[in-house]
Structure 1
Amino acid sequence: MSTTISQNPPLLLSEAEAGELLNVCAKTVYRMRKEGKISFLRLRGVVRYSRDDLLAFIAAESKTVSADDSTTTDNAPRS
């Protein structure tokens, strides 16, 4: 993660910075945007991502994964 994001986080992130925050590549961020999974805004034709929205996305995804994990009580493979 870049030192700019960790020391003085900007409110709006580029695709590459959003990818760093989500721990994915910029192409994945682009795909997630196109699929409607993450919100974005366009300022003078430039796409930006709200840091707060991305953090909320991470929190929501974490809850979904936790809920999915808690419903499995055995180690049997799913079919």
Structure 2
Amino acid sequence: MNPVDAEGREENPLLHHLVRDIASRGEGELTAVVHETHGGRLIRIAHIRPANGIAWSTAADNVTPATGGP
């Protein structure tokens, strides 16, 4: 796991790079990966901003580098 700062933000190597969300098949810039506690479990949430449109969040494990292909 990557280092996490005091505010729960993960220092992910894909930050500010083009990524693909395998769940939605959407692509955009990874703007943050945050660690949140839900029901006593630690959850890693990725925040993605597309070139145009509305940003979304997904499980961090759903994020892969975008290849530029379909």
Bin for the TM-score computed over the shorter chain: under 0.3
More strand, by proportion: 2
More helix, by proportion: 1
TM-score (norm 2): 0.24
> Rg larger in 1 or in 2?
1
TM-score (norm 1): 0.22
